[in-house]
């Protein structure tokens, strides 16, 4: 299939793998974090680690929007959905995320009406078709999905819809990267930068990573060859003693990002003073809320939101996994108490979550896996 097969070519992969191996200094360990959950998914789905030398480790970062939603926010959404005449809508991945009193699926089984949508515009459509109901869109995601929520709000205002609102949980990627860089014991050598987020915000906002922390960052596409090439570019920077922001994903990401999308976000939303992240705790300025002009569409103002902070379950080490401090299998409850069908932590829910990806695709010693599959 065109535009896909070119980026999965085995010959090119082998050539890149040889390059990567040649760039590695013997005896040195390299740890690169792919920030975005989409990259994590690609790495596991295609078995990309088979092309990496053993001293290059990919650490799976916090860029899975579902994985960073704290339990309290899920509880808040369930509370809104429990109010009379409410239709809550959300992306499918969120349906199984556990709150302290169960997931959206459980809420539906108890009588709530929470529906899966593919876009906030679908949610707007439901609002138009159900004038007697109050339709709420649970908005999650990094800068990638924020513009579509903002556009939807502009449209809702344009149409004077009075039964549509947004429960805003949009988060920002840079404060999360900073939280990781500042966390004790951080041992990363560089970052594979998020392609879709950068298509919106552009490459400039990462300059501080390269400048202040001397870590290279390469914005990457989502096909396996994209990621291999990004790893090669990171290793080349290290070898040459450079730390720069580079763009591997030029075919989709202009250096300056998408000015129109940035303007739409700016028009509709503003930073929150602080926001709680699953496992990472509260990070200042790390999320967006609706501006005052959009108060009639702000579910946090329209509904009673409990806003109770719920401690992450004690056994759960999602935070350590998100920071890359431990591998998924090193978590105390990995695969026994916490599995994709009965997740304790959010990393086990979404297929972009580090734990779920490792459990579903990689739950095996890599060398043994390779040998068994080639036997």
Partner 1 sequence: MSEKDVLERVERARRRKPRLTDERITLSHGSGGKATHALVEALFVEAFRNPLLERLEDQALLHLKGATVAFTTDSFVVSPIFFPGGDIGDLAINGTVNDIAVSGATPLYLSAGFILEEGFPVDDLRRVVASMASAAERAGVEVVTGDTKVVQRGKADGCYINTAGIGVLERPVQLSAAGARPGDAVIVSGPIGDHGVTVMLARGQLDIESDVSSDTAALTPLVSLLLDAAPRTRCIRDATRGGVATVCNEIAQASDVGVVLDEQEVPVRAEVRGASEILGIDPLYVACEGRFVAVVSGEEAAPALEALRSHPLGEGARVVGRITAGPPGIVLLNTEFGGSRIVDMLVGDPLPRIC
Position 204 contacts partner 1 (CB under 8 A): no
C-beta of residue 80 within 8 angstroms of C-beta of residue 136: yes
Among 40-48, 213-221, 254-262, 263-271, the segment contacting partner 1 (CB under 8 A) = 40-48
Select the residue interacting with partner 1 from 13, 86, 153, 280 (CB under 8 A).
13
Select the residue interacting with partner 1 from 118, 184, 241, 292 (CB under 8 A).
118
Q: Which is nearer to partner 1, 240 or 373 (CB)?
A: 373
End-to-end CA distance of the chain: 29
Position 339 contacts partner 1 (CB under 8 A): yes
Position 214 contacts partner 1 (CB under 8 A): no
DSSP, collapsed to helix, strand or coil, labels residue 139 as strand
Query: Which residues, at least 6 apart from 29, have a Cβ–Cβ distance to it below 8 Å?
Result: 55, 57
For residue 19, the tally of other CB atoms under 10 A from its CB is 15
C-beta of residue 67 within 8 angstroms of C-beta of residue 322: yes
Q: What span, in angstroms and rounded, lies between the C-alpha atoms of 152 and 170? A: 14
Select the residue interacting with partner 1 from 85, 92, 306, 307 (CB under 8 A).
92
DSSP character at residue 362: I
Q: What span, in angstroms and rounded, lies between the C-alpha atoms of 223 and 220? A: 9
- Least CB distance from residue 148 to partner 1, whole Å? 14
Name residue 89's beta-bridge partners: 115, 137
Position 44 contacts partner 1 (CB under 8 A): yes
C-beta of residue 57 within 8 angstroms of C-beta of residue 231: no
Applying CB under 8 A, the site for partner 1 has a residue count of 51
Select the residue interacting with partner 1 from 250, 251, 304, 363 (CB under 8 A).
363
Q: For helices 146-158 and 259-268, what crossing angle results, to 10°?
A: 60
Closest by alpha carbon to 152, among 280, 264, 302? 264
What's the Cα-to-Cα distance from 361 to each of 7, 54, 224, rounded to whole Å? 20, 18, 15
Interface map 223-252 toward partner 1 (x if CB under 8 A) = -x----------------------------
Position 51 contacts partner 1 (CB under 8 A): yes
Among 61-69, 116-124, 282-290, 292-300, the segment contacting partner 1 (CB under 8 A) = 116-124
Position 282 contacts partner 1 (CB under 8 A): no
Position 365 contacts partner 1 (CB under 8 A): yes
What's the Cα-to-Cα distance from 209 to each of 149, 157, 175, 215, 285, rounded to whole Å? 28, 38, 11, 6, 17
Position 372 contacts partner 1 (CB under 8 A): yes
Among 129-137, 232-240, 287-295, 334-342, the segment contacting partner 1 (CB under 8 A) = 334-342
Strands 30-36 and 190-193: parallel
Interface map 314-333 toward partner 1 (x if CB under 8 A) = -------------x-xx---
Position 334 contacts partner 1 (CB under 8 A): yes
Q: What span, in angstroms and rounded, lies between the C-alpha atoms of 227 and 220? A: 6
Select the residue interacting with partner 1 from 50, 129, 162, 256 (CB under 8 A).
50
Position 285 contacts partner 1 (CB under 8 A): no
For CA atoms 153, 174, 309, 333, give the dihedral sign: positive
Q: Which is nearer to partner 1, 108 or 262 (CB)?
A: 108
Residues that bind partner 1 (CB under 8 A): 1, 4, 8, 10, 13-14, 44-51, 92, 95-96, 105-106, 108-110, 117-118, 122, 224, 327, 329-330, 334-336, 339-342, 351, 359-365, 368-370, 372-375
């Amino acid at each position: 299939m065109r535009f896909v097969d070119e980026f999965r070519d085995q010959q090119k992969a082998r050539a890149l793998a040889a390059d990567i191996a040649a760039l590695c200094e013997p005896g040195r360990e390299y740890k690169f974090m792919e920030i975005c959950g989409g990259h994590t998914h690609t790495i596991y789905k295609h078995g990309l680690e088979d092309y990496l030398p053993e001293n290059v480790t990919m650490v799976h970062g916090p860029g899975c929007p579902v994985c960073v939603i704290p339990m309290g926010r899920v509880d808040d959404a369930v509370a809104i959905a429990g109010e009379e005449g409410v239709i809550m809508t959300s992306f499918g991945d969120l349906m199984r995320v556990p709150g302290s009193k169960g997931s959206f699926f459980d809420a539906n089984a108890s009588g709530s009406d929470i529906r899966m949508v593919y876009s906030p515009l679908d949610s707007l459509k439901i609002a138009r078709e159900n004038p007697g109901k109050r339709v709420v869109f649970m908005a999650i995601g990094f800068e990638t999905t924020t513009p579509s929520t903002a556009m939807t709000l502009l449209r809702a205002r344009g149409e004077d819809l009075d039964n549509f609102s947004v429960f805003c949980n949009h988060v920002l990627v840079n404060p999360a990267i900073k939280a990781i860089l500042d966390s004790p014991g951080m041992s990363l050598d560089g970052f594979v930068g998020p392609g879709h987020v950068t298509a919106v915000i552009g490459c400039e906002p990462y300059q501080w990573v390269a400048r202040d922390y001397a870590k290279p960052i390469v914005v990457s596409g989502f096909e396996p060859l994209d990621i291999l090439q990004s790893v090669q570019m990171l290793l080349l920077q290290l070898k040459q003693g450079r730390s720069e922001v580079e763009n591997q994903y030029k075919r989709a990401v202009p250096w300056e990002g998408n000015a129109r999308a940035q303007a739409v976000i700016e028009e509709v939303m503003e930073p929150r003073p602080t926001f709680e992240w699953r496992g990472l705790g509260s990070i200042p300025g790390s999320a967006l809320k609706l501006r005052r002009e959009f108060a009639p569409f702000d579910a946090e103002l329209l509904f009673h939101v409990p806003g109770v902070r719920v401690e992450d379950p004690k056994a759960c080490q999602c935070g350590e996994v998100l920071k890359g401090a431990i591998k998924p299998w090193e978590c105390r409850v990995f695969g026994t108490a916490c599995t994709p069908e009965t997740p304790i932590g959010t990393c086990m829910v979404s297929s972009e979550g580090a734990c779920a990806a490792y459990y579903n695709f990689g739950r095996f010693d890599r060398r043994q896996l390779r040998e068994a599959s080639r036997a």
